[in-house]
Amino acid sequence: MNIIDKLKSTGIIPVIKIKDASMATDVAKALLAGGISSAEITFRTEAAEQAIKNIAKGCPEIFLGAGTVLNTTQARKAVDAGARFIVSPGFNPEVVQYCIDKNIPVIPGVNSPSDIEHAMGFDLKVLKFFPAEISGGLKAIKTLSAVYSNIFFVPTGGINQANVAAYLSHNSVLACGGSWMVKSELIETGSFETITNMANEAVKAALDFKVAHFGINQANDTEAQETAGLLASLFGFQVKAGNSSIFASDSLEIMKSNYLGEKGHIGIGTACIDLAQSVLENRGYSFNKESIKVKDGSLKAIYLKNEIAGFAIHLVQR
């Protein structure tokens, strides 16, 4: 799995400042128990290198990175310790080149067109947008991505439970960095259960599941048109016809054939479909791979393999 796909399925990257390396593995396990499968240990303490070593050995399931990497010495220590990707607050050409030479994914910080074009000169496609909120937030990312459509961002700085879903819903955002679920005081007091609970809440906020629409199976085009027309006439809905279905309002889809689901289907919208698929698979649910719908290289919809109460269930990227 490449770095882009890995970050999509990760969604949230906890940014961890740790003073006691002996607690690092417990923090990683607490995050994993809460549904978060990545971590970034920042080089803002002397314990960073050993903390990375401990997690790499004690919790290898975590997709582990090193953050606040300011020079090649720190980059070397991080890689030797077991970091699988490097993150820096700004664009340091020496750090970038070192990582490229070592074939280690590097995510340097940018917040301007000049920074982005500098990164493009190194053939980088994944960049940290930092500090995100101060630099214009999601509005700035939307503006930049309209110009640099082949660039993906990992916004960090000011990301929290209230705004993470909005960021992740934009197709140029792969994942968000944040520290609200791994605050230093929680680590220092050994509050690992609290970290697990906050990680779980962070994942829920990032996924932001909501019912998108209901699908009603009909035998053919004629029946679908009759049903859609009746609903429209009764309730004043706007009818929109498609190739395989007719929408009678935004939330009622009338299928032109007996599609998936004995009784029909339910579409569940999410801010981050790749993360949603990963989380549900980790919970033991499987997906119908033949139902995958992709647009512009990004996953847009996928059905669960099993029905629920006679309804097929599919995820939809908002």
Catalytic residue IDs: 40, 128
106 and 40 in contact (C-beta within 8 Å)? no
Q: Report how far residue 66's alpha carbon sits from residue 20's, in angstroms, rounded to the nearest whole number.
A: 16
Q: Report how far residue 151's alpha carbon sits from residue 244's, in angstroms, rounded to the nearest whole number.
A: 33
Q: 27 CB contacts (<8 Å, ≥6 apart)? A: 16, 18, 39, 55, 182, 187, 192, 195
Residue 199 carries which side chain, given as an amino acid letter?
Answer: A
How deeply is 37 buried, as exposed, middle or buried, from its count of CB atoms within 10 A (0-12, 13-18, 19+)? Answer: buried
Q: Which of 227, 207, 209 is nearest to 217 (CA)?
A: 227
| Beta pairing class for 12-16 and 176-178 | parallel
Query: To which H or E segment does residue 73 belong?
Result: helix 72-81
Q: Report how far residue 149's alpha carbon sits from residue 40's, in angstroms, rounded to the nearest whole number.
A: 26
Paired residues of 176 in beta bridges: 12
**Tokens describing residue 289:** 């791979």
Q: Report how far residue 174's alpha carbon sits from residue 172's, in angstroms, rounded to the nearest whole number.
A: 6
| Beta pairing class for 210-216 and 252-255 | parallel
**Tokens describing residue 158:** 């000011």
